[in-house]
Amino acid sequence: MSHHDNFKDSSSKRHLFAALAALFAAPLLPMLMGWLTVLN
């Protein structure tokens, strides 16, 4: 296993994590905005 393969693997994991984070953030963002407007 070379250094390049390891870097590529960690990079793909980062992209996967970013995609999951976006999936979770998408429905939460409007709710967060709603809370902010209610609190203000």
Tens-of-pLDDT digits for all 40 residues of the chain?
555 666 677 888 899 999 999 998 898 988 989 999 998 8
pTM here is 0.49
Q: Residue 9: its pLDDT value, please?
A: 75
Give the separation between CA 5 and CA 11, rounded to whole angstroms.
Answer: 10
DSSP letter for each residue of 1-27? --HHHHHHHHHHHHHHHHHHHHHHHHH
Tell me the C-alpha to C-alpha distance, in Å, between residue 16 and each of 12, 13, 40: 6, 5, 35
Pull the structure tokens for residue 26. Answer: 């998408």
pLDDT of residue 4: 62
DSSP annotation of 38 reads H
